[in-house]
Structure 1
Amino acid sequence: MLTFIITAGGIGKRMGGSVPKQFLLLNDKPILMHTIEQVHAFDTSAELIVTLPVDYLKDWEEMCTKYTFTIPHQVVPGGDERFDSIKNALEKASGEWIAVHDGVRPFISKSVLNQLLTEVKSHRAVIPVIPVKETLRIADGETNATVHRDHYRIVQTPQVFEAKLLKKAYEQKYATSFTDDASVVEAIGARVHLVPGNDENIKITTPLDLSLAALILKNWK
């Protein structure tokens, strides 16, 4: 069985305003609902676990009632760090494979999901990435220099893992170097395999992202 952990435990400071970004409306309903619908449409039998800010658990219940949102999912409280939120969710996860996905990425393609779930069976840890299009420079104080963008990739979610591997990785103590689940798994010596992601799979973190998401949604299938 497959478990999807949809992490939405943050408060979205970069978006501004008083409402966490995952609850902002994208066209007709909260962003998080769009994300859950995409995942559920891909695999209706998958176990869905959603991490939410502790102070917004009741708000989410009210939103589900208001928007008649009935897709089955478990809710777990988020922690101080993303690491803590995922660790809480892993205690509830029962799938053989676990996909961890950002709650504010509602446009993951089915073809990418299929490839991730195929590749994880032989690589144990797989993540979607896209090429860097802009020129990059590395800056260190007053020194800066161009770097070869072909050597870099932009990381997306969902990141998919063998359950035993991911749970073992989350037994270690939190470190500030843990920026995503792949970095947590790498810290115990595991290798991470890359697969091509899709450009539409943006992370909605700013007002401009929200405007772009509305345009993507008009042509999304």
Structure 2
Amino acid sequence: MLNFYALIPAAGYGSRMGDELPKQYLRLAGRPMISHTLRTLCSSPRISAVFVVLAPVDSEWVRYDWSEFSPKLVVLQCGGATRAESVLNGLNAARAVSPIGDNDWVLVHDAARPCLGSKQLNKLMDELADDEVGGLLAVPVADTLKRSDAQGRVERTEPRDKLWQAQTPQMFRYRLLLEALSMSGGAAMTDDAGAIEALGFHPKLVLSDARNLKVTYAQDLALAELILKNP
């Protein structure tokens, strides 16, 4: 039986939030934002371990009590300059401290998506467990899309047919994901699926919903808190 592992790259700063505190530690519903993600992943009986990839100089993590997530939680202070580098470094470091196999599944999830629910998580694992490639949670684009020119005016309207908005977790086998990120150089890819696509594979889109939002701007915190209070 193949195992499931989760990996959370949390070495970034989140400059668009306009806050001195790294985004993953901002208070959300009385707790650091990342703790909501950890609660969902660590409470899943199907996930063997949850790796959190921090910046080497992260001094904020030790200010909090994470004991409720033991013994599944594994902290790796090997984050890189980009998200892709952090995931790649984390994959290599995880191999050194766990029995993760080449064909085991790795679910990479953003620390800034604190509203992931167990229903979405299980749906992802159920639909991809026997898939040859893997895939990701995503939602079809619902809004009309406009492309702007250099002056900030509408250049044209983009067709939204067959367009999806990528979310996380993104779930791939350990060896394939390691190879994909190594080939990409760990710099240009904004998500893991993009690295897999660059190898010529076609990840599966697993229907999610808008509640699995990414907290990007300060105003997103209020919406995330509402979702957490009304799951």
> Same-fold call, TM > 0.5?
yes
Match of 1:12 among 7, 11, 14: 14
**Within-5 A mapping of 1:1-221:** 1-43=3-45, 45-56=47-58, 58-64=59-65, 69-72=68-71, 73-76=73-76, 77-91=78-92, 92-93=94-95, 94=100, 96-120=104-128, 121-141=130-150, 144-174=155-185, 176-220=187-231
Residues 101 and 159 in structure 1, CA contact (< 8 A), matched pair in contact too: yes
Question: 1 CA distance for matches of 2:227 and 2:184?
Answer: 39
User: CA offset at residue 189 of structure 1?
Assistant: 1.3
Residues 41 and 47 in structure 2, CA contact (< 8 A), matched pair in contact too: no
Question: 1 CA distance for matches of 2:22 and 2:163?
Answer: 30
- Which structure 2 segments of 5+ residues have no match? none
**Counterparts in 2 of 1:176 and 1:48: CA distance versus 1, 3 Å:** closer
The C-alpha deviation readout for 1:34-80, integer Å capped at 9, x for no partner, is 11001112236521100112222x32122126xx5443311122111
RMSD: 1.9
The one-letter amino acid of 1:211's match is A
Residues 4 and 106 in structure 2, CA contact (< 8 A), matched pair in contact too: yes
Query: How high is the TM-score relative to the length of structure 2?
Result: 0.86
User: CA offset at residue 204 of structure 1?
Assistant: 1.0
**Counterparts in 2 of 1:170 and 1:176: CA distance versus 1, 3 Å:** closer
Residues 177 and 183 in structure 1, CA contact (< 8 A), matched pair in contact too: no
* Larger helix proportion of the pair: 1
Question: 2 CA distance for matches of 1:111 and 1:34?
Answer: 15
Equivalenced residue count is 217
Residues 15 and 205 in structure 1, CA contact (< 8 A), matched pair in contact too: yes
**Counterparts in 2 of 1:80 and 1:15: CA distance versus 1, 3 Å:** same
- Which structure 1 segments of 5+ residues have no match? none
